[in-house]
Every structure is written in structure tokens, then in C-alpha cells.
Structure 1
Amino acid sequence: MRQFLGKTLKNDVMNAFGVTVLPAGTVLQAEHLLVLENHKIDNVSVFLEIAEMKEKKESTTPHAVVKGVVANAKKLYHSFHETGVVPVNELQDEVIPAVQDIANHPNIFVLFEAVKAQDDYTYQHNIGVGVLSTLIGKWLNLSEESLKALTFAATLHDIGKLRIPQEILDKPGKLTEEEFEIVKKHAIYGYEILKNTQGVSYRTALVALQHHEREDGGGYPLGLGSDKIDLFSKIVAIADIFHAMSSKRPYHDALPFYEVVRQMKEGYFGKLDPTIVSVFLDNILTKMVGQKVILTDDRVGEIVYINPHEEEAPLIKVDDEFIDLSCVRTLRIKQIIGL
């Protein structure tokens, strides 16, 4: 095993129960080899990154790729503003393949950090939701054709906001009731734009219309119940909420990781499709072992064990101290840094 010291994992290493014990990107140290031995994993070589592939240019990091595709999408959205015509071919040729490429990054926590909106929220949000929806679609085992259709619909889900006054979208404080009613119209505007666009499927228009509908009928604009909401719309709703809560927006900062997970779990009951939320959270939480985290007291640690009864409160190693977050209730995970 010692011959693997200093080598980098190309893919997540999972144990016999499907739980990630070491994430992609880990540079193997002695303690990591001990973890592999304890889980009886000896075929380490299949997980290793080929040395010559390790040298990556700065321009190919997830953050840089996301920045580039956001800039491209922004340019295309501006062309729609000027002409009133959705640049379907350019989006399909330039933006959608890039969004799907980003979603293939082996470390989802690096990915989450890359797609978080920091400024220019509207455009970053479109790409972030496109990437997250693609991830969920992959975890739901959608066909390649369906996955491409989902990516396209998710990336265009908020196109109706181009008809909302920018000063309302960028308002730093809480919206008035009247302003919120104006913002809510983006779902109908998006539907109208897309259903009248040649080369865009009706299902894509439905996602623009339905992504704020909720399972219990409490959403907008039509108050539809679960059986009336398209699968793609349900997926995009979850990606939309996760990205919005994880990002800095004009009127609030990004929520800490533990709070995002807590609120997503609450979404099981009535608001969001429980099966899709379960798949989404399970795929996140089982991959947390080995990730670097920032705690709510700003200390940096590493996740070493997932509590199966309370996944968002794992065992953390901080220097030489082990902290069980299921017992120490004053601490939580503020941010997963991603390796």
C-alpha cells in the first residue's frame, strides 16, 4: 500500500456499502491508507489519477469554466433582450455542452463552490441550476436524451426574468408585496417566451412555468398539485432552491451548509418531491467523508465519519481533536470547502 503515498485519487473510493470513504482529489497520506485497509479496499490503482493528466491549466478549473460559460450565456441573453429572439442554436451548441461538462466534475463539493453565485446573480443562477439539475438527472438515471433536454430546460428556467425590471431583481432589501407579485410573473413570461420559440420543446416551456409550483399546491403561478407538475419541473425546483440558498443574493448572504440541508429536509414534507430530494441529499451526504470543512466557529476540520442517523452532523477531526457534531450542538458545518 505504501507505494500509493502521495498519489491523487481520480475518483471517489466507496466501501462495500456504497459509502464514500475517500473523495476524488485526495492526495493519499498514511492515515488515508489506513482507512483503505480498514475498509478492505486493495484495488487502489483503479482510483488513481494518471500523473500526466494531473497538470491542468488554470483555465480548466471548475471556477474558471463556470465563469466562462456564465459570460457566454449573459451575452446570449442580452442578444435576446435586443432582438426578442431566443438564440436556441447558440445555447445548444455553446452553453448546454459546457453545463453538462461542468456537471461531470468528480468532486461535487468543488462543483458546488464553483457554481455558487457571488455577484451577477441572475446569470450565475441560470448556469448553477442547469448544472445542479443535470447532476440530479444523472443520479435519477435519466437517459442521455432526457438529460440533455433537462439541462436545456433548467438553464432557461428563469428566462422570464429578462422581462422583470432590473432594479427589482437587484433590490438589496426585502421586496414589497407589490414587487414580489411582479417578480412572480417571470414564470408566465418564461412560458410565453419559450412556447413561441421555434426549436424549443413544450416541456422546456413547462419548466419555466412550473418550477415554483409545490407538491402541496402552495406554489405559483397556478397552485398546481404534485400530479400536475412535470418531472423536469420538480427536479429544477430542487436545484433552484438549493442554489438560491447556497448563494449570495442582493438581499441575503449564502446560508451555511447545515442550514441548507436542514431546510431541504423540511422540503420532504409537502413542498418538494420526497423521492428526488432523498436522492439529491443522499448523494451529497454519503460523499462527505474526507472533505475539508469550515465550522461555525471558523475552525477548519475534516469529516472522518458520517452518522447514519444524522448525516448532516458527522464526526469532524480538527487538528488532533475529534468533534462529534451530533453531540456538540453548538457547532455546525458552515461550509464544505471541497478538496
Structure 2
Amino acid sequence: MKTDFLVEGCILSKDIKGYMGHPIMNKKTILTSELIEVLKVFLIQEVSVEKMLIDGERFIPKEIIDKELDDTEDSSDFITHYLKTVQTYKQLFKNWQAGSKVEVAIIRSSLIPLVVKALEEPSAILKLNHYSNKEDYIYHHAISTGLIGALIAFKMKCELADIYQVALGGCLADCGMAKLPPSIFNKATSLSLEENEEVQNHPISSYQMIKDSSIITDSVKLAVLEHHGRLDGSGYPHKMRAKTMHLFSKIIAVADVFHAMTSERVYRKKQPPFKVVEMILHDSFGQFDITVVQALLACFSSFAVGTKVKLNDGSIADIMFINANSQTRPLVRLYDNGDIIDLGSNREIYIEEIL
């Protein structure tokens, strides 16, 4: 696509390199007007972009209608399906804010085919944070939490029906946020103590909104209520401890915090997925079920040898070998000089981004 025809919200599908081979922008970068101008300054005339914008709409280039973006687009494409599902949820969420009931059947019909596709491409699930933005975070978070929860349940060898139920539970866990006053829901600054307490009651609202549905099981309804519970009693809204939490609750709790920590928020920058899972495992030790966290950890083995990554020192490398005992710290080879680094031994270096 010619640079002159780009619009805000385009998602790069390939790396952009300068004349000397140095990277200018990495794939999955969400283009702003400023970044488009940067490309023009570097005299980049053409780039490769996704068919969908970050808001889930089809990309229609300025001045022209690109022939590649007609109705023959591949409906099986995971990211395209994901972004469309986010937009479906967004519209439903706005309906809930207006007082409509939760349409679980509509969510299921959109989400479950996406789960099926996601389990065929597990590494794609762990890269969903690339597509979440501050403005639409809550909608991306719902779909991503469902998908990550489904992947964890799959790794724990749950029955397929239970995997689907976990996905629905993760997706619906925050539907009660629709009941928050606009003054709190749209607030871009820190919440007051009273406002934070009101937010912490959203699991109760979520439960009340879905408790009469016949499509989801009682265990999923319970998981929606309990998904902010913690093993050490520090969770909310009921300070729930492990013995009162269902397995589905524990899975969704881990999926929820993993996506939240790896996504850009109004008040916090996103953190690297590899680092976040280490933080959940070590810094939050005692809060989450260790078998569930280990299942999430095992998901990182789905990244194939050769996967391109960016390290926290700015270096670009590819994964050479993943140790079963240290999935977040594989053996990597640097692109610029071919050096091999064992991230398990070099604790100051870690994978910042999956490219």
C-alpha cells in the first residue's frame, strides 16, 4: 500500500526497514498521523498493512478503493475475525449500557468459532495485546480474556465443552462494567477511593446480568462472580479464598490479569508477555493457583523455533530453543552479530515483544 494512502488505525503487517537494513517500525505497529509522517520523512513509499483497522473496520485507503479489500477477503483470517468479534462485543456492551439484556447467544455464536481458530494458532492468542488500544481496551479485554482462558483450559486438558464455557465466562466477566456511571467508566484519571469501590463491585453486576441465562453453566456464572478472587484473600468483591473458588474462576483470574498487564491502559503502559507471566509466577506468588499459572507458562512453548522477538535492550533476535523448565527464557540468536544468548542465565535481559 502506498504511504500516501494510509489512514490512522492501519496495522503494519510487515517490518519496515531503512536503506541500511535497520528497522524503522516493527510489524503490528498501529499507525497514527505522526507515524505516517515519519514514514514519509524516511521516504518509505510502500508498506504492508492488515486488511482491518485497529477499530475493526475495513481499511479503505485514502483517495482509492484498494481491490484487495473487496468482499473476497479471507473470512478465516484469525486477526480479521478477532477484530470483528471485538466490534460485535463493543456494540452489545453499548446496548447493555442503555439497559438491554445480555445476549449470550449472540456472543457465543461469534466467540466459539474464534476459539476454534485460536486453538489452531495458540501463539496468536499470546500476541493479542498488540491490537488492544486505550480507547477500546475493555472490549479487547473481554474477547482476549475469553481466548486466553480457553487456551489455559485446553492446556489443562479440560473437556471441549468446558473450554467453550471458560471462553464465555472470560468474555462476560466484565459485562457488569456497563452498569458503572459514565463519570466513572469514562474517567481517564485516577479513581477516588469511593469510585474504586464501585468498580470493584462489577463482578456482582456481571453475575446478576447473566445469572438467568440457560446457555452458560452454573460453574461459569460462579466464575464470573469470582474472577477477581485471590488465593491469599486479597481479591474482591468478597475477599474470596481458594477453597471457595471454582477451577473456572481460577483460570479466568489468571487470563484476566495476564491480558490486563500486557495491554496498554489509560494509566499504565503495556508490559512484555514473557515478563508478565514471570511476575504472575513470582511477584504474585500465593495469589493465583500454581497449576493454572503453569498451564499459562506452558502456552509459551507454542512459539516455534525461529519466532522473531525484540529484547529489552533493543536487540532483535530469533528463538532457537525453548527449555521446558524455562519457557519464558529461551535460547535466542541475535540478528546483528549472530551471538547466542541463554536468557535463563542472563536474567537482566528478557523478551520485550513478540514480533
Normalising by the residue count of structure 2, what TM-score does the alignment of the two structures yield?
0.72
Contact 1:103–1:132 (CA<8 Å) still a contact in 2?
A: no
In the alignment, residue 280 of structure 1 is paired with which amino acid? L
Aligned to 1:210: 226
Aligned counterpart, 2:354: 336
The correspondence of residues 67-86 of structure 1 with structure 2, limited to 5 A, is: 67-86=83-102
- 2:147 pairs with 1:131: yes
| Matched letter for residue 82 of structure 1 | A
1:80, 1:87 within 8 Å by CA — same for their partners in 2?
A: no
- Please say which of residues 285-294 and 252-261 is displaced more in the overlay: 285-294
Alignment correspondent of 1:296: 312
Aligned length: 280
Q: Which moved more, 1:56-65 or 1:145-154?
A: 56-65
Q: Mark the CA change 1:75 to 1:98 in structure 2 (over 3 Å): closer, same or farther.
A: farther
Q: How does 1:1-339 map to 2 (within 5 A)?
A: 57=73, 60-93=76-109, 95-106=110-121, 108-114=122-128, 116=130, 117-119=132-134, 120-197=136-213, 199-266=215-282, 269-285=285-301, 287=303, 289-307=305-323, 310-319=326-335, 320-337=338-355
Q: Any runs of at least 4 consecutive aligned residues in structure 1 with deviations exceeding 6 A, and if so which?
A: none
Please tell me the residue identity of whatever aligns with 1:91.
Answer: I
Query: 8 Å contact 1:194–1:205 — kept in the other structure?
Result: yes
Report how far residue 279 of structure 1 moved. Answer: 1.7
TM-aligned CA distance change 1:336 to 1:177, over 3 Å: same
Of the structure 1 ranges 242-251 and 165-174, higher mean CA displacement relative to structure 2 is found in 165-174
**1:170–1:250: 8 Å Cα contact kept in structure 2?**
no
What TM-score, normalized to structure 1? 0.75
How has the CA–CA distance of structure 1 residues 301 and 100 changed in structure 2, closer, same or farther, with 3 Å as cutoff? same
Q: Aligned pair in 2 of structure 1 residues 311, 150: CA closer, same or farther (>3 Å)? A: closer
Deviations 1:185-207 (A, max 9, x none): 10111112222445544333212
Deviation at 1:180, TM superposition (A): 1.3
* Matching residue's letter, 1:300: I
Q: Kindly provide the amino acid, as one letter, of the partner of residue 163 in structure 1.
A: K
Change in CA separation of 1:267 and 1:80 when aligned onto 2, cut-off 3 Å: same
* Residues 78 and 118, structure 2, Cα contact 8 Å, conserved in 1: no
Higher relative contact order (CA 8 A, sep 6+): 1
Aligned identity (percent) is 29
Describe the shift of the 1:333–1:166 C-alpha distance in structure 2 as closer, same or farther (beyond 3 A).
farther
Contact preservation (8 Å) 1:305, 1:315: yes
Any idea what SS the aligned residue of 1:283 has? Answer: helix
Q: What is the alpha-carbon distance in structure 2 between the residues aligned to residue 133 and residue 216 of structure 1?
A: 21
CA-CA distance at 1:272 after TM superposition: 0.5
Structure 2 stretches of 5 or more lacking a match?
Answer: 1-71
Q: Is the 8 A contact 2:154 2:163 kept in 1?
A: yes
Deviations along 1:263-316, whole A, 9 cap, x unmatched?
121267310011111122023146453211001122211011235554433221
- Could you say what the CA RMSD is over the residues aligned between the two structures, in angstroms? 2.4
